[in-house]
Amino acid sequence: MMNKQIIDGLIDYLTIMQYAGITEVSNLSVEIADKLPHAEKLIVSVPNAVAKNNSTEIQTPPTLTSTDSIESNKFEPNKLPDETQSVARETKNITMESKTKNCVGHDLPKEQDAADKLTQLELLSAEVAKCSRCLELAQSRTQTVFGAGDPFSPLLFLGEAPGADEDIQGKPFVGRSGKLLNDIITKGMKLKREDVYVCNILRCRPPGNRTPQPDEAANCKSFLERTIEIINPKFICCLGSVATKYLLATDKSIGQMRKIVHDYNGIKVICTYHPSYLLRMPAAKKDTWEDIQMLMKMMEEG
Ligand code: SF4
């Protein structure tokens, strides 16, 4: 039986592919749709997508409405100084530019490659769902939180661990921090949440949202490594000190790791503050915007 997170990922992916106008994917979707309890979402969204397909920008399907921004705690690059506005305008073109390109204009994978990647993610997610390496977390979690977004995205955001909302919904970054991350992606980067992939160091919520322990991060490291290997992003943005510490094996602070392009197995990595920190310290949003600008420039340059 398919894991719910993978099913959601399949729906997101197939919808994106259909919006991109790749008709062969419709056949793939029919095959997979037979296995999907939410297939009606996919099928309903197809004709709308095809009808709108003259547009060069992907429109958010009516069934994917969980990433809307919020009125409070806005990430507002428009209120930053003029010199930063020009970067935002320049990078506005980091959206789907043709029917066969991803969010930064790279070719989408061939159908078989896409199916293989989704199968690998499904198998890994199923393995994670049964994991009990961290006894305390396995006993207290509602469910594991694997990852979400476009598995073919060149950009992966890496957070710390699921919180209460994520634990309940089974998706990463869906609470207040998630809404601020959405603002960073949509208002700052002019992308859509479903254009990027998002996951965490841990796939289970630590009780009381405490900081992950080193042994828990070590237990979950192989899942993270395999996720990154399958997604194969070109860029990773570490959100916060925990993601930075365990991905890059460092004890340096975010302040020391910012403004530097790091390397993880050939992938370019930048580090910035976690959205939950920005909610507590709004003054740091300016620093995060600088980091996101650096990321956008790197993505523009490939
Ligand atoms: S945090 Fe990772 S390693 Fe620990 S129980 Fe959850 S899935 Fe397993």
> In this predicted model, what pLDDT tens digit does every residue of 177-188 receive, in sequence order?
999 999 999 999
From the CA of 142, how far away is ligand 1's center (Å)? Answer: 13
Neighbours of 84 (CB within 10 A): 18
Strand partners of residue 65 = none
Tell me how far apart the alpha carbons of residues 185 and 199 are, in angstroms, rounded to a whole number: 15
From the CA of 209, how far away is ligand 1's center (Å)? Answer: 15
Mean pLDDT along residues 76-81: 48
Which pLDDT score, from 0 to 100, does residue 176 have? 95
> In this predicted model, what pLDDT tens digit does every residue of 242-268 receive, in sequence order?
999 999 999 999 999 999 999 999 999
Would you call 187 exposed, middle or buried from its count of C-beta atoms within 10 A (0-12, 13-18, 19+)?
Answer: middle
Atom of ligand 1 nearest to the CA of 131: 8
Neighbours of 210 (CB within 10 A): 9
From the CA of 290, how far away is ligand 1's center (Å)? Answer: 33
> Of 103, 110, 91, 94, which is closest to residue 22 (Cα–Cα)?
110
Tell me how far apart the alpha carbons of residues 98 and 57 are, in angstroms, rounded to a whole number: 8
From the CA of 296, how far away is ligand 1's center (Å)? Answer: 32
Ligand 1: residues with CB < 6 A are 128, 131-134, 137-138, 144, 202-204, 216, 219-220, 223
Which of 141, 144, 146, 209 best tests ligand 1's pocket when mutated (most atoms within 8 Å of CB)? Answer: 144
Contacts of 289 (CB under 8 A, 6+ apart): 75, 77, 80, 84, 188
Ligand 1: which residue has its CA nearest to atom 4?
134
Q: What confidence category does residue 4 fall into, taking pLDDT thresholds of 50, 70 and 90?
A: low
From the CA of 63, how far away is ligand 1's center (Å)? Answer: 30
Atom of ligand 1 nearest to the CA of 216: 4
Which of 124, 134, 166 best tests ligand 1's pocket when mutated (most atoms within 8 Å of CB)? Answer: 134
Tell me how far apart the alpha carbons of residues 162 and 232 are, in angstroms, rounded to a whole number: 22
CATH number, domain 62-301, options 3.40.50.1370, 3.20.20.140, 3.40.470.10, 1.10.3720.10: 3.40.470.10
Beta strand 148-149 with 267-272 is unpaired
Task: Check residues 194 and 115 and name the one with the higher pLDDT.
Answer: 194
> In this predicted model, what pLDDT tens digit does every residue of 276-291 receive, in sequence order?
999 999 999 999 999 9
Mean pLDDT along residues 135-144: 98
Ligand 1: which residue has its CA nearest to atom 2?
220
In which element (H, E) is residue 199 found?
Answer: strand 197-200
What is the rounded average pLDDT for all residues in the chain?
A: 78
Question: Is residue 198 a contact partner of residue 233, using CB atoms and an 8 Å limit?
Answer: no
Ligand 1: which residue has its CA nearest to atom 8?
131
From the CA of 145, how far away is ligand 1's center (Å)? Answer: 10
Q: What confidence category does residue 74 fall into, taking pLDDT thresholds of 50, 70 and 90?
A: low
Contacts of 280 (CB under 8 A, 6+ apart): none
The share of the chain scoring above pLDDT 70, in percent, equals 66
Ligand 1: which residue has its CA nearest to atom 6?
204
Which of helix, strand or coil describes residue 115? helix
